[in-house]
Amino acid sequence: MIEACDSAIIRGAELLRNGKLVVFPTETVYGLGANALDGQAVAGIFEAKGRPQFNPLIVHVSQAKEAEEYVEFSEMAKVAAMHFWPGPLTMILPRKKGCRVSELCSAGLSTLAVRVPAHDIAQKFLKETGVPVAAPSANRSGSISPTLPILAAESLGESVDLILAGGPCTVGLESTVLDLSGKQPVVLRPGAITAEQIEEVLCVPVGYDFGEKIDKPKSPGQLLRHYAPSIPVRLKAVDVEAGEALLAFGSTQFMAMKGGGFAHNLPETAFKNLSEQGDLIEAASNLFAYLHLLDCPEHKAIAVMDIPEQGLGIAMNDRLRRAAKGAGSQKNGLK
Ligand code: TXA
Ligand code: MG
């Protein structure tokens, strides 16, 4: 932990650019930051938080103009940004085509959460990094969001590379999460900015959806819609059937095709390896991007090799089980 003076901010920004995890203050709560362009760094966030699930993350930038590089701004989003940024508002917007932010930040969804925090140190830090910064609250999964640097340190311990200490957070409550990717604006998580304030500015009704109906949320604002491929997903595959694509993990030397032949001879469009070395961090960083790549109608299904139920493998398996359950149904309309 280090006082967030200019030289500490420069050091933190350099660490973050190089794939390390850096805790920084915002006006709401302390954030656990990683370079959002670096999938392995983003996977490191989930490992450090000990989250058994991949929830999508908020990407922080120092000004709206930078967010425009990654997401589509509707007229409404522009108005909201003008009024509430910098500040405790997070907007969910459609990812732009070719968006370079790791798909793990979106947990496979076609949207991305973006926010421009108002805190002085956060602003300096984000400008200095020069990259979008993915940051959930800086606590281990299951504990409360830290509003003091010492609370982040106690919660995350050795799993972060640097904590920039900047005193207590003034708002002390997480940002309002506003979904502007659908027809009507919807607040997915209440926060410092109220739906009434947003209505006043946007001049349209703003709904609330805390998701109680869809799933049993463990915490307010937990994302309840999940990415599901449009074709079936077959888990713990030990061979590949004709017409299937293979999502591999580890060595595929002995992975056979059912009718004869070896899986590693599949065309590139039907074969992706999450991590040849069996590295769970690398695998997690590739999971959603590879599912998207293999999710095309030419394939009968996606066969997924077994992934160990440990570390990030727990979150990966959770997501794969949901994908297998929801696959082909298109009911969530998120594709
Ligand atoms: O105040 C805050 O928002 C803090 C500071 C660090 O910025 N961050 C924070 O992040 O609270 P986190 O990860 O603890 O909460 C992010 C919330 C989650 O409820 C998540 O489900 C939702 O935002 N979210 C993120 N991306 C989303 C997306 N694409 N669609 C729907 N919800 C999303
Ligand atoms: Mg949180």
Q: 202 to each of 102, 183, 206, 291, how far by Cα in Å?
A: 30, 13, 9, 36
CA–centroid distance for 83 within its chain: 25
Query: For position 333, what pLDDT does the model report?
Result: 37
Report the DSSP beta bridge partners of residue 304. 247
Each residue's pLDDT, cut to its tens digit, for the chain (335 residues) gives 999 999 999 999 999 999 999 999 999 999 999 999 999 999 999 999 998 889 999 999 999 999 999 999 999 999 999 999 999 999 999 999 999 999 999 999 999 999 999 999 999 999 999 999 999 999 999 889 999 999 999 999 899 999 999 999 999 999 999 999 999 999 999 998 999 999 999 999 998 887 654 444 434 444 446 788 999 999 999 999 999 999 999 999 999 999 899 999 999 999 999 999 999 999 999 999 999 999 999 999 999 999 999 999 999 999 999 889 877 654 433 33
174 lines ligand 1 (CB under 6 A): yes
Atom of ligand 1 minimally distant from the CA of 181: 30
C-alpha 276 – ligand 1 centre gap (Å): 31
143 lines ligand 1 (CB under 6 A): no
Query: For position 219, what pLDDT does the model report?
Result: 40
CA nearest neighbour of 165 among 192, 199, 125, 203: 125
Which of 26, 54, 57 to mutate for ligand 1's pocket (most ligand atoms within 8 Å of CB)? Answer: 57
Query: For position 28, what pLDDT does the model report?
Result: 97
Query: For position 328, what pLDDT does the model report?
Result: 66
Query: For position 211, what pLDDT does the model report?
Result: 63
87 lines ligand 1 (CB under 6 A): no
137 lines ligand 1 (CB under 6 A): yes
C-alpha 229 – ligand 2 centre gap (Å): 27
C-alpha 223 – ligand 1 centre gap (Å): 8
C-alpha 335 – ligand 2 centre gap (Å): 26
